Amino acid sequence: MRVLVTGAAGFIGSHILEAARGLGYEVRGFDSLTPAVHDGMPAYIPDDTDMVVADVRDAGAVTRALDGVDVVCHQAALVGLGVDLSDLPGYCDVNITGTATLLNAMGQAGVQRLVLASSMVVYGEGAYDCARHGRVRPAPRARDDLAAGQFEPRCPQCGEALVTATVTEDAAMDPRNAYAASKLAQEHLAATWARLTGGRSVALRYHNVYGPRMPRDTPYSGVAAIFRSALEKGAAPQVFEDGRQQRDFVHVTDVAAANLLALAATEEGSQVPAGSAHSYNVASGHPHTVGEMAAALAGEFGGGLMPEVTGNFRLGDVRHIVASPAAAEQGLGFRARVGFSEGIAEFARAPLREPARVPATLS
C-alpha cells in the first residue's frame, strides 16, 4: 500500500510517516516546508524519504504527488487558535482551500481513501448537564465574565452551574474560532468528496496532542510545549484562567497509531462503506486539568518552579472538553497506550522542534 502523508515534516505528520514506514508501507511525504515553520528539512526526517516539497494549494504538485497512491493521510494545516482577526484569511486559505484542492485532485486521480486530521475544537464547549434542564449547550463565555474571574459556563436557560459530561461524535458542532471553523469545513468537504466519488473518509478529531517534535515556543504551540519552554528558560509556567479547565492529553505516538488504524478502516470491505465519511475522537479517555499538566511538567524539572495561575484568558478558548474514546475503540480498535504520567516524564526530556528563524521584514 502506498500512502501519501501531507504535512509529513510536521509534529504529527512525521510520527505518522515513521509509523507507516515501520509497518512496511510505501510512504510519500508532502510538505511545504514553509519558512514560518521550518528551517529546511527537519533532521528527524530520514534522508531516503520520498518527500515532495510543495504547497497543498498547488494543484499541479498535488496531482503529481498522488501518482501511484492508494490512500491519503491529510495532516497539512495551519494550526492553533489564531492570534487575532488577521489570521482569518490564512486559516481559510490553507485549511479549506488546500483541502478542497487535494480532494479535487484525488477525485481526478481516482484515489478513493482518505484519513483526515480533524480536531476536538469542532465541538466548541464540551458537553454539559444542568440539574434542571438536562443536556445543554452553553453560550460562548463573555469577556466581562472572564475578566471578572467567572470562568465556568452557566446554563443558558436558568443560569445555574453545570456538570461536565463526555463528548461523543454525535454531539452538535459548534466551532468558536477561526481554526475550529476551518477544521469543521474540512470534514464537510471530505464528506462531500466521499458522496460524489464513492470514496471512504475517516476524520480523526484529535484532542490535546503532545510529545516529541512539538514546535518549541510559538503563538500557535500547544500548551504543553509552551509550559516546557518556560521551564527550560528558568521561568514558572503561566497558567491561564484558574488552571481548572479540563482537557484530554493524548500522546503523539497514540495519535499516529490511530491514523494507521484509520488507514486500514478505509480499505474495501472494511467498516467504512463506500461513499461515506466517519468521524472519531482520538483521546485517552482520562482528562486532566491544564494546571495538572503544568504541575506535572514542573515536577519533572525538579519542582522548583511551580506554575503560576494568572487569571488571564483568551477569547475563543473553551472551558472544558472531555471526550469519549468509545467509538474509536469500537470502530477502529484504537485505545491510547501512553499514560499521562509516563507521557509527561518522556515529554519533559524529548527533543522539540526549534522555531523557524524567519528573517526580519524590511520596512
Q: Annotated catalytic sites, by residue?
A: 179
Q: Residue type for 363, please?
A: S
SS3 label, residue 289: strand
d(CA 268, CA 264): 9
Q: Cα(252)–Cα(258) distance, rounded to whole angstroms?
A: 10
Grid cell locating 196: 460524489
Residue indicated by cell numbers 478502516: 265
Residue with cell 504535512: 7
**Left if phi > 0, otherwise alpha if psi is -120 to 50, otherwise beta: which for 5?**
beta
Beta partners for residue 323, in sequence order = 167
Contact 117, 12 (CB under 8 A): yes
Cα 255 from Cα 269, distance rounded (Å): 24
- Grid coordinates 511545504 are at which residue? 32
- Three cell numbers written together for 195: 458522496
Start-to-end C-alpha separation, the chain? 50
- Helix, strand, coil % in the chain, rounded to nearest 5: 35, 20, 45
Closest CA to 27 of 8, 11, 12: 8
The grid coordinates of residue 167 equal 463528548
